[in-house]
Amino acid sequence: MSFNIAVAGKGGVGKTTVAGLLVRYLVERGLTPVLAVDADSNTNLNEVLGLTVEFTLGDAREEMKKPSNQSPSMTKDMFIEMRVNQCLVESTGFDLIAMGRPEGAGCYCAANHLLTDCMDKLAGNYRYLVIDNEAGMEHISRVTTQKVDLFLAISDTSRRGLTAAKRVVELAQEMNILTGKHYLVVSMAPEPVPDALRQAVEEVGLPVAGYIPQDAELAAWDLAGRPISQLPAENPVVEAAFALFGRVVPEV
């Protein structure tokens, strides 16, 4: 049984950066194998990890709706399992799979059911799952029944970001997919952290895992299209993120 960590928050708050650094943290500490799941319809976790995605679960689901794409000798279960395996991008210590676009027109109940079964079986092969979500959790809930053991709600230093982080935790609880602990992570924070920001964070009412600082090197890497998860170990964002993970991520 894998230990499932979900990362979520509104767009632009650094959640995918946190997810990518979390994958690196687990791999460097030998807590492998890890499955990174990009559950954001705006797929870009692969860019943070320095990988290329050519086929997504959304593509597999679309193909399954077209019988002409399937061999007559292959059942739907066999077809979707083959396609899911083709979605996997392998790397050292971890694999990546992307959910891709949400459903189009028509009924996807049968396709989602088969994807759910296949993804649940696949998850059993990994020690940790790191799931990068958009602010809405419906996308992940339709494609896996895996419960979330640790939920990291990411916010920037804005009031809107903090409010969105609180709401996404509440949504995960309402959908009954959050069974473990949850924490708030504040990214792009100035140093030292202003008292006004600490007060705003306290008012949100979520347990705080820590603050990740603003960093010019990270911004430059992002602009150049370099994989942020490969930032030098002495980078302040990497140091802060790893210290934070050390406090809240259990070794299983």
What is the tens place of the pLDDT at every residue in 128-155? Answer: 999 998 766 666 666 565 788 999 999 9
* E strand or H helix that includes residue 8: strand 3-8
What are the backbone angles phi and psi of residue 42, rounded to the nearest 5°? -90, 80
Q: Provide the pLDDT for residue 139.
A: 62
- 86: three-class secondary structure by DSSP: helix
Buried b or exposed e, range 94-129, using 16+ CB within 10 angstroms: bbbbbbbbeeeeeebeebbebbbbbbeebbeebbbb
CA–CA distances in Å: residue 201 to residues 44, 146, 154, 211: 28, 29, 12, 10
- Indicate the fold that domain 3-248 takes in CATH: Rossmann fold (3.40.50)
> For residue 92, what is the DSSP state?
S
135 contacts 9 by C-beta, under 8 angstroms: yes
- 246: three-class secondary structure by DSSP: helix
CA–CA distances in Å: residue 136 to residues 42, 48, 49, 166, 179: 12, 21, 23, 12, 17
What is the tens place of the pLDDT at every residue in 178-233? Answer: 889 999 999 999 999 999 999 999 999 999 999 999 999 999 999 999 999 999 99
What is the tens place of the pLDDT at every residue in 47-97? Answer: 999 999 998 887 877 777 666 555 666 777 787 788 888 889 999 999 999
Give CA–CA dist 61/49, Å, rounded: 25
Q: Please give, one letter per residue, the 3-state secondary structure of 179-237.
A: EEEEEEEEEEECCCCCHHHHHHHHHHCCCEEEEEECCHHHHHHHHHCCCHHHCCCCCHH
- Please state the pTM of the whole predicted model: 0.91
User: Which residues on neighbouring strands pair with residue 150, listed in sequence order?
Assistant: 5, 181
Q: Provide the pLDDT for residue 86.
A: 86
